Structure 1
Amino acid sequence: MSATGRTRAPADRLSIKICGLTDAAAVDAALDAGADMIGLVFFPPSPRHVAIADGAALADRARGRAEIVALTVDAEEATLDAIANRVRPTLLQFHGRETPDVVRAARERYGIPVMKALGVATAADLDRVSDYRDAADHLLLDAKPPKDATRPGGNGAAFDWSLLAALDPALPYMLSGGLDPATVADAVRQVRPAAIDVSSGVEHAPGRKDPALIHAFVTAARAADETAATDRSRETA
């Protein structure tokens, strides 16, 4: 059992998502590094926003090599329809104020898995996990944005990981917020999430990914995951 009370089967492999990719070079870097998921942002206020046509081209570049995640924020149904039909993601990520009913309806409408992001700042924020657990196929736990933030998400900040000890140890989730090549190993060892997500932590400027940082991030995460798995095997031997 980890410091936050999480458990994972030794055979489980950490899933890594590189989000906010905006060009072919960034997609190629994520794929070459061995990322399991690439994230495309369809939210105009974000510096990582891509037009649907551009997102479709990037998705095709990664298709068959990684899961394609389309991130939206309180998107209208027409926008979701266009993304589903043209980008053809393998997973839809909802990063706004979408209700469980909205998330559940999208899963049924598009016939693909859905992920709901939840902002965490205090223990009370985790109460919403039970609301979305059955509505979404995946949960992403991110740092809660400041009250004056203009965009959702952690904005490069981490939250207190010890809060996650209160969750059901059997609940798989994706961890995000404040991760970068220097911090991801601690996150993997301490929290033992099923998956991790990074965006600004592998950028040299907002919306501009750094291939070297992507490779460093994936390498550090994989090494930490292997070390943690070995430690667990020794503890149970």
Structure 2
Amino acid sequence: MMAQSKYILALLTFITIGMIIGSLFQLAFIWRLEEPSGTSHWENDKEASLLRLGLVKPEILSWSPRVILFHNFLSMEGMKSDVRTSSGMFLSSEERKYPIIEAIEKRIAVFSQVPAENGELIQVLRYETSQLYRPHHDYFSDTFNLKRGGQRVATMLMYLSDDVEGGETYFPMAGSGECSCGGKVVKGLCVKPNKGDAVLFWSMGLDGETDPNSLHGGCAVLRGEKWSATKWMRQKASF
């Protein structure tokens, strides 16, 4: 029994170290893209311009769950929200071919390190005053949704407006501090919607298992309208 316990402990230690190393490699890749040299280094590079290299600024918010805030992820052109006017709508396969959408999806693929073809169609959402989204997981717990593309690996949540009070993205299981969620003080991590920023978080760990700590929600909007666009990424291509 003692030998078995030591084996299990060693295995768990190995997995934990692997997850940390994997996270560091991914973050090192992101930081390498965002050199402190500014935009001048990339000004004649069309591909770099498409990816907004030198403009996007990553900020690590949490290791468990893994949450990264990308400041200035979208340009003003990429934040136009007149494609749809309903409260919630997925962009169509044809709209996915628009140059602006293609550029955004390629940017998401580079910064998340998940192939663009593994992503679901972008969903544009509008939250009006008092509307919210209660804490939930993005990963699936049923077999039906897993048949097409496998499990959801990560989510990129992009903010399209910031003239709003409340509407924070809330991670109850992240950190040990307190934050303001729709005007209420709660435990966890809250990200204020800021136009052009994007939050990337993982629903699965580097061990391939779903991460319960990825629980998140949308806090109540107190004033104004909150516009956002969400991109879910799967284990394999199917969309």
TM-score tier (shorter): under 0.3
> Which structure has more helix as a fraction of its residues?
1
Bigger CA radius of gyration: 2
Give TM-score scaled by structure 1 length: 0.27
Give TM-score scaled by structure 2 length: 0.26
